[in-house]
Each structure stands twice: as C-alpha cells, then as structure tokens.
Structure 1
Amino acid sequence: MPSAQILGPSRSEVPIAYWSHSFPPEIMRQETKIAVESGFRAHKFKRRAHTDVIDQVESICEVCPEGYDITIDANCTFGTPERVIEIGTQLQKYPQVKCLESPIDQEDIDGYRRLKDSLGYPLAIHFGTPHPTISLSSDAYDYYVLGGWASNKVR
C-alpha cells in the first residue's frame, strides 16, 4: 500500500524555490532576474530588521513574471502578531506573496491563528517547534519546513 494512502494526500510535484538572503532592493531585483532566467517560479527570501520587506517585495515584483510566487522567511523577526498584520496588510497589494514563514515565535499558536484570520496567508514553520504532537493537531500552521534529511523527521 502506498504510504500516501496511510498518511493522507500526496502530490506528484513539489515546487522548488529560489532562495535569497535579506538583500537591499537593487540586489533583490538582480537575484530575481537570475531566478527567472534559471527557470524558477517561486522565490523564498529572508526578512531581517535592517531591511524594508515592502521595498524588497516591490523590487522582486518589478521584474518577475505573472505566476511567480514569493515566500517571506522572517525567522520570527516581525515580533508581534500586530506588526505582522500591519505589514501583511501592505503586502496584500502584491499578489505574488503566497506564504509567510515563521513571522512570529513559532509556539504562539493563538498568534498564528490571528494572522490566518486577519491576513489569509498560508503560514509555514520549521518542523519541531512547537512539538509535532501540538502543531500537527493545530489549525494554526499550513506548511512545515524540514531541515536535514526527511527520514530523520518521521522517526
């Protein structure tokens, strides 16, 4: 029996995203051009406090094609749900933004629920925090980032 029948739905394809660090807008434009020329249709980039995430997204959108998806990986640097809602509301004018990864402390389950209710973005966290018995039974998270070998995560 295929494991997907035991574990749930499966996919025939998994998107692979181009990855960028937290660069200023002019470099993000260059990074996006490289990604597009290389055939990528998705782009994940790091958000850090020293850069303006709105400017970064705008610079990506200036050069990306229609159907290009953006994930913003904040590594919990937005701080509070209120701050994410404030920034996320501004980001909604860019339909390319498809997912927020770790916008706040990953164990703030109620905060993640507020973000989903307020913004509607799918939310990703790194698998393991909170413990999978809590996160997998919660409706707060949509995607999990697996680090290392996937086989280590299912033991």
Structure 2
Amino acid sequence: MANQELDPVAPPGLHLVSAFLAMEPADSLISLARACGGGSVTEKVQRFIWSYCISEASGKGYVPYVKNFLKKLIVEVESNHGDVLDELYEQYAYIMTSLKDDHLAEKNKRVCKYITFLFPDGTFDLPSCPKSTKLMVPLQCSLNMLEGDTGYASVLILFCFLSIISV
C-alpha cells in the first residue's frame, strides 16, 4: 500500500477517514495510518491525513480532538525518524497558540460525530439496503461521551441504521 495512492472512498483510506470523522481514539487512528503506509506513517499518508482529515475539519471539528490527534501523529512520525509535513506542525502550533481548551469546552458542549456504515459488494440487490456502499450518519453527542460511553451511543446508532434500512 505504501507505493499506491490512497483513496478516501476505498479501504484503507476510507477506514482512516471514517475513524477520524467518528472521533475514534487517536491511538486507533495512528494504527490505521500505519496500515495505510505499510507499517509506518509515510509522507504520503501524512499528506492524505492533511487533505482528507485535518484540513477538512478546520473550523468544523472539535479542536481538542484534532490537537490530541496531531500531537500523537507528530510524535509517531518523529519517533520513527521520519519527516513531519510542515502543514501538520503549523496546524498544531496554531491550535496551541491561539485557542484555549477551557474556552472551547464552554462554547462547544456538544459535538457532531459521523458514524460510517460500509456495505459489502452485492448487498445492493436487497431492497432494504441503501444504494451506496457507504452510509454516513451524523450523531450529535455530549463532550463527556467522546472518551468511552455506556453503550447508549452505540444503541442509538444501531437504531438509526435499522430505521434507515427498514424504510
């Protein structure tokens, strides 16, 4: 995979973008990034993350989440003696110098996560399945549900999904 171009609509790029939009833990994103780069977070993977995750979230995403992910991404690349893209350093520096977490937490008591359902090929013949291989469901949740939850969010997502395909 390291020599091929990553595609945001096909695995493993799709899995990385979907996990970012779902606000999966940063360690999970790093593992997916490694998988995209054939075992390490290459410059191509970093450029993909910048293009399809970080720059897309600019101004829309939950900034402390992006800050945490950027920090772990930078540490991952540096610890393997790789070169970090300037854009990633610049975005991390911007977040660190211009925004305060306590102000953001006050302003954004709720965030929007995007849960992606991926359908295997061949399921389109079923009348209850969507006509796309990907279904993205926005889920607005409280900030205290980002790091683990009681399972309520999972049940809510499953209910939404079942409601959509049963129509």
TM-score, normalised to structure 2's length?
0.29
Tell me which protein shows more strand as a share of its residues: 1
Q: Larger relative contact order (C-alpha < 8 A, sep ≥ 6)?
A: 2
Tell me which protein shows more helix as a share of its residues: 2
Bigger CA radius of gyration:
2
TM-score, normalised to structure 1's length?
0.30
